[in-house]
A and B are shown apart, each in its own frame.
Chain A
């Protein structure tokens, strides 16, 4: 049985492959969710609309952001790079949302 496509590189062993997938799953499910939540907060506070509309639009868009992040996490060259970028997006959005209050 083949393992997930993300880990079919030649360089890693079986355990390395497993770790890589596990890392990406953790990144994708709670990690990207947190980053998407931070982006939603940033959008809610910065979209040029009344606060109710800004909240609604930000929530509506957050699922597209989440989806794009997950897809990208599984396509990234390494779990480490994926982690760094997702964390950066999350932190920047979070700080931006705090600044925009």
Chain B
């Protein structure tokens, strides 16, 4: 042990922790990365509804709808579209009923840009990938979060041990020896990892912080009798006032938007909750758009529901709340403008590729040593790599196709989109076990590429919001989606082609082969 030294011990730790959680990390990275376009994917998933900048019309429409359908509700909640999103959601809570938590809210109605309720297809849109990123699926949410947290902790250890392992970390960054088998995978893995190392370290640590009290509740319970007491202190929820029983008209919603804008220096609300609507004791709480602040947390204004007078304002202000909120804000990047968002996305792509190349390296390193002998562990890892690295993107593309092709009146349609994703992945995992590995790689990568590039083709021919329509309408988000799908598809097709292309070993490679075998023997 002593002879072997600190760095070697870290190499072993890096290899084995990396493999153990690699597939789940790949899923987390891939879905987290596409979640930077969550709003755009949701917009793409609901072609029935156009984007709007006119919040007032939408908010008025929501109030008109709620006044008509639920005048005696305990509270109304209006979720206004973010800058990158489309459609508002108006919902209400009956007196004495608990607030709605999970699944499909039966009271929720989507309000279109003209202020009228619209029927949109039942879909989770970008939320499907977003939730898969940290909740997983088909297992209880808390289990999913613990599995994700466990893997994230492994990732943190893998990053730190990876840095220690590569003492020539900055030299590695400039080293790329393409077309040399395992060497190339190692170089690619190092370059991808070093290139976006600051991002990886940030995203892993802040990822833990997003759910930190779930993972490590003991610092909270050390100072509070219960976790509930801690939460009550960290996010104090104002008790809604008792209704007075005297009717009074609600303050104009346009005025509420203007008050918010003045208070927040031009900011806009994302959610407006109205307690006791139509009563003299009505209370309005407006929550600020997360895109307007780096620090995650509640930025709110509480208004008298009748006069519109400001009762109180709040935002994260203590050092701990700002530290937590800032880290969560960095992770989710809701604050991020477009240019920075692209950097986040590309760093996420690099991270996903880093995990993928690490997984592939594990097999390519061992293939040479096995010299064609069968080995159960190797066989398992090799097939799981194919079914995950190539199969999962295909499954996610399957979700997008399900969004387009499932009948609009299908019961639980939104769930079925997710089932299609899960079933496609399962099929690809099985497929990887029955085909020769190289064929399986080519076929799954090629299929993913095809499925991706055909989506914009389908949109152009079968829907009213194809690439050309969106270009004409000047709808940047949808143009970006269509071009993004084409670009990603092309990338997968290139990868399939690269695997398929028979390649004679180059001179240098032949000369190097014995040396490399020695170095890794």
B313 within 8 A of A: no
A37 CA to B220 CA in the complex, in Å?
A: 11
Contact across chains for A57 and B323 when beta carbons are under 8 A apart: yes
A26 shortest CB reach to chain B, Å:
15
Interface string of B187-230 (1 = CB under 8 A from A): 00000000000000000010011001101101110111000001
List chain B residues, Cβ under 8 A from A89: none
Of the four ranges (under 10, 10 to 19, 20 to 34, 35 or more), the interface on chain A belongs to 35 or more
List chain B residues, Cβ under 8 A from A50: 318, 320
A9-B1, A55-B320, A71-B161 known; A1+B10 contact, CB < 8 A? no
Contact across chains for A52 and B216 when beta carbons are under 8 A apart: no
Of B11-19, B96-104, B265-273, the one touching chain A: B11-19
Contact across chains for A1 and B323 when beta carbons are under 8 A apart: no
Considering only residues 41-81 of chain A, those with a C-beta below 8 Å from chain B are 41, 43-45, 49-60, 62-64, 66-67, 70-71, 74-75, 77-78
Contact across chains for B157 and A70 when beta carbons are under 8 A apart: yes
B490 within 8 A of A: no
A6 within 8 A of B: yes
Interface string of B1-25 (1 = CB under 8 A from A): 1111010111111011000000000
Q: For B4, B164, B321, which residue has the most chain A Cβ atoms within 10 angstroms?
A: B4
Secondary structure call for the B interface: helix
Contact across chains for A67 and B156 when beta carbons are under 8 A apart: yes
A68 shortest CB reach to chain B, Å:
8
Contact across chains for A74 and B205 when beta carbons are under 8 A apart: no
Contact across chains for A55 and B224 when beta carbons are under 8 A apart: yes
Contact across chains for B153 and A52 when beta carbons are under 8 A apart: no
Contact across chains for B160 and A67 when beta carbons are under 8 A apart: yes
A42 shortest CB reach to chain B, Å:
8
Contact across chains for B218 and A41 when beta carbons are under 8 A apart: yes
A36 within 8 A of B: yes
Contact across chains for A71 and B10 when beta carbons are under 8 A apart: yes
Contact across chains for A62 and B216 when beta carbons are under 8 A apart: yes
A40 CA to B233 CA in the complex, in Å?
A: 19
List chain A residues, Cβ under 8 A from B1: 6-9, 77-78
Q: Which of B3, B161, B377 contacts A1 (CB 8 A)?
A: B377
List chain A residues, Cβ under 8 A from B233: 51-52
A sample of 20 more A-B contacts (CB under 8 A), given A5-B15, A40-B219, is A4-B12, A4-B13, A5-B4, A8-B4, A8-B8, A37-B216, A40-B222, A51-B233, A52-B223, A53-B318, A54-B320, A55-B220, A55-B222, A56-B321, A60-B327, A63-B208, A63-B216, A64-B205, A67-B153, A71-B13
5 A-B contact pairs sorted by A residue (CB < 8 Å)? A1-B375, A7-B12, A55-B230, A59-B216, A71-B13
